[in-house]
Structure 1
Amino acid sequence: MTDILTVADEAGLVEAVRSALEARKTLEVAGRGSKRGLGRPTQTDATLDLSRMSGVTLYEPEELILSARGGTPIAEIEALIAARGQMLAFEPMDYGPLLGTAPGHGSLGGVFACNLAGPRRISHGAARDHALGARAVSGRAEAFKSGGRVVKNVTGYDLPRLLTGSFGTLAVLSELTLKVLPRPPLAETVILPGVPPEAAARAMSAAMGSSCEVSGAAYLPVPVSGRIPELGTDGPAVALRLEGFEPSVKARRAMLIAVLQPFGGVEVAEGDASARLWAAVRDALPFAGTGERAVWRLSTAPASGPLLAAELAGDLGADTFCDWAGGLVWLLLPGEASHADEVRTALARHGGHATLVRGTAAERASVPVFQPLEAAHDALTRRVKASFDPVGLLNPGRMHAGM
């Protein structure tokens, strides 16, 4: 049975990593364990449990900054800032429903370790774009900090951005400082029903290229559209979100309807219906509760997304939908087989990268979960890994075999 090392503060974290380093024992890094199914399965000597390393250490609503320890539940942070009319603008996804665990259990460190961002990615950037500073412990058992409490605080290497998206393979995040933003008082969703893939791509491109300030753009074909009641249709539909103060939203809604007029008539979802719709898109809820059927996230050019999704649906019998104005394609395959070669071959014709986000342990061990690295990128990645974790102590093989 794998040992569990529970730490409550940075000093304890340093000591735990140092002990493992001296004993040459590998560590699985776990904030609250909600995303263990992401990445390649690892075989480690011990699990480093950060769940007690929790709590907000700084919150200055007037300055729009917050600091919290790595194991702090992201739901706790969102509730705290929502009470002050603020939000995490990158809209982090909750992987719990998709991976078969309880919702709302993800940690702040896990969100940044996986660089999670939801539909607002197209208007506000990814998680790494909101990181101001970080404290962490490397695989050398060395505590370090980088960044600070303002946006323009970096000279030299921007380590918070480097660590974001590294899946705990470089260092263990002990504390993060990030920016928060005011929550828009009103959100509405303009729904364009009945559009085929090519028209959907053109409609989303027109919306994003307009001055309407769209903060969410998704294409939901059949059968996914039928699993989101707030769409009000069983047919394919484009959903476009507008946020802000009421006069602005109403004016931009009229502008957006005019932009979409060549594509057909529209409907509008307001209030809670709009919020539920985007929560379903953010958390891939149409794919939740489907056992261990393989699920992919494909990143590609927005104009290619709906066409790529339709191609894979036809060739592999997959259910699909698009987020990020077509730049993110979600793919649910009919069985546990990942069909990695077919998926990546289809993607190569459009450009981009693919990640297997849900699969059996056997599938995740036998195929590249993350996009295979080109030679130069692989060499650079290995040098960075060796700089932070020279003996391969932290999450070995989580992202790439032998690394």
Structure 2
Amino acid sequence: MSPRDEQELSEAVAGAEGALRIVGGGTRPIGRSVMGEDLSTAGLSGIELYEPGALTIVAKAGTPLAEVEAALAAENQRLPFEPMDHRGLLGMSGEPTVGGMVAANVSGPRRIQVGACRDSLIGVRFVDGRGTIIKNGGRVMKNVTGYDLVKLMAGSYGTLGVLSEVAFKVLPGIETRACVLINGLSNTDAVTAMSKALGSPFEVSGAAHTPAGIDGHPVTMLRLEGFADSVAYRAGKLRDVLADMGDISVETDPDRVQAGWQWVRDVASFHGRAGDVWRISVKPSDGPEIAARAGGDVLMDWGGGLVWALVPEGTDLRADLGDFAGHATLIRASEETRGRVPVFHPDPAPVAALSEGLRRQFDPKGILNPGVMG
């Protein structure tokens, strides 16, 4: 099914006799496979409202993300949260949609500064499992009525409702960017350096570390963005703050900086390589220990608080990690592995009960992406 507007979407859900597999651009098949009839939001496409002066954009859920980003760029504006493109990592094609981005609560390296997708989301329209059209939030930043429900839809993977429209607050574009690079640090020393940088007053917008950079050696990356004079000043000051950490350089070519952070954002070092990919969220101070337990190849983002791990196929990494304060999500694996190993980190019993109660409330027939988050 491919409804052309919100009313047709409502009728399709209300009339469904079995499970529905919600499809946006088809670029993020994360979670367990859903056995059901495809329900595509591709027909719900187009920017509904864009007010640059109000820093607000509203788009239908099936709108390609590239279309939204192009409209924003034409006015020197941007989505704050730097959404990751999963296509290379998951071996997919197609065009990511804004609805799929919200459903997965996608973000990127800038999350440490501005938050995730849900933190920029100010309004949604969606169809619940009964076929009821629900509006929550608003189209301007001041209108935050029902804001908790807006946030609830972000990261629900289509299990609470099928998004038909989303509204975001946006930010002005970036004049220039630079990257302070520290070579040769261990994972532990890298987290120390990233913590010092993030704790400084110099507005670091990205902090990542790879044990094996493009040249095969460890490199720690600290991004600075803003007006040219400010970036140059802060880069010099940050270099002074970190002078005792080792071999430091500053990359000032904005195109090279942009490419380097796209490499981090999209976990490009794992593209086209055999193995399963896990995404582990922890306290930054725990990042080095978790990376050591994970083994294999890792990439650390968010100052050490996000650890990407590439491990042998079929690995139950969660079992190998043992108890830790955080959560591990299986992002890429075979269907067999995703059927055997929980994709999303199991919730504590009280949280699991609350989540199940919410699903029963919004989807009493259990037809919206059933089992995808199992």
Give SS of 1:295's match.
Answer: strand
After superposing on structure 2, the runs of 4+ consecutive aligned residues of structure 1 that deviate more than 4 Å are none
* Corresponding residue pairs, total: 373
2:129 aligns with one of 135, 139, 153 = 139
2:36 is equivalent to residue 40 of structure 1? no
2:306 is equivalent to residue 328 of structure 1? yes
Q: Deviations over 1:246-305 (max 9, x none)?
A: 1110110011001111101311222111001000110111111124x2100000001121
| Distance (whole Å) between structure 2 residues aligned to residue 184 and residue 343 of structure 1 | 41
2:280 aligns with one of 279, 298, 323 = 298
- The residue number in structure 2 matching 1:17 is 13
- The residue number in structure 2 matching 1:370 is 344
2:207 is equivalent to residue 217 of structure 1? yes
- The residue number in structure 2 matching 1:201 is 191
| Distance (whole Å) between structure 1 residues aligned to residue 350 and residue 106 of structure 2 | 26
| Residue pairs, 1:144-223, within 5 angstroms | 144-156=134-146, 158-222=148-212
| Residue pairs, 1:333-372, within 5 angstroms | 333=311, 335-345=312-322, 348-349=323-324, 351-372=325-346
Give SS of 2:8's match.
Answer: helix
Q: What amino acid maps onto 1:384 in structure 2? A: L
Contact persistence 1:186–1:246 (CA under 8 A): yes
2:12 is equivalent to residue 29 of structure 1? no
| Distance (whole Å) between structure 1 residues aligned to residue 11 and residue 282 of structure 2 | 42
Contact persistence 1:302–1:327 (CA under 8 A): yes
Q: Deviations over 1:351-386 (max 9, x none)?
A: 100000000000001111000111100110011001
2:65 is equivalent to residue 74 of structure 1? yes
| Distance (whole Å) between structure 1 residues aligned to residue 133 and residue 350 of structure 2 | 29
| Residue pairs, 1:217-366, within 5 angstroms | 217-222=207-212, 225-226=213-214, 233-269=215-251, 270-291=253-274, 293-313=275-295, 318-333=296-311, 335-345=312-322, 348-349=323-324, 351-366=325-340
1:61 aligns with one of 20, 40, 52 = 52
Q: Deviations over 1:47-89 (max 9, x none)?
A: 0011121110101111110000000111111111111111111
| Distance (whole Å) between structure 1 residues aligned to residue 307 and residue 182 of structure 2 | 19
Contact persistence 2:122–2:147 (CA under 8 A): no
Contact persistence 1:194–1:235 (CA under 8 A): yes
| Distance (whole Å) between structure 1 residues aligned to residue 327 and residue 101 of structure 2 | 20
| Residue pairs, 1:77-156, within 5 angstroms | 77-102=68-93, 105-156=95-146
| Distance (whole Å) between structure 2 residues aligned to residue 75 and residue 197 of structure 1 | 35
Contact persistence 1:295–1:357 (CA under 8 A): yes
Give the TM-score normalised by structure 1. Answer: 0.90
Unmatched tracts of structure 1, length 5 or more: 227-232
Instruction: Give the CA deviation at 1:151.
Output: 2.9
Q: Percent identity?
A: 45
Instruction: Give the CA deviation at 1:26.
Output: 0.7
Instruction: Give the CA deviation at 1:157.
Output: 5.8
Cα 1:250–1:78 change in 2 (3 A) is: same
Contact persistence 1:340–1:367 (CA under 8 A): no
Q: What amino acid maps onto 2:52 in structure 1? A: P
| Distance (whole Å) between structure 2 residues aligned to residue 157 and residue 219 of structure 1 | 34
| Residue pairs, 1:384-403, within 5 angstroms | 384-400=358-374
| Distance (whole Å) between structure 2 residues aligned to residue 360 and residue 98 of structure 1 | 13
| Distance (whole Å) between structure 1 residues aligned to residue 284 and residue 142 of structure 2 | 30
Q: Deviations over 1:174-198 (max 9, x none)?
A: 0001011111100111100010111
Q: Deviations over 1:1-31 (max 9, x none)?
A: xxxx0111101100100110xx2x1100001
- The residue number in structure 2 matching 1:230 is none
Instruction: Give the CA deviation at 1:340.
Output: 3.2
- The residue number in structure 2 matching 1:381 is 355
Q: What amino acid maps onto 1:331 in structure 2? A: A
Instruction: Give the CA deviation at 1:337.
Output: 1.2
Instruction: Give the CA deviation at 1:320.
Output: 0.3
Q: CA RMSD in A?
A: 1.2
Instruction: Give the CA deviation at 1:237.
Output: 1.2
Contact persistence 2:207–2:220 (CA under 8 A): yes
| Distance (whole Å) between structure 2 residues aligned to residue 183 and residue 10 of structure 1 | 32
Unmatched tracts of structure 2, length 5 or more: none
Q: What amino acid maps onto 1:278 in structure 2? A: W
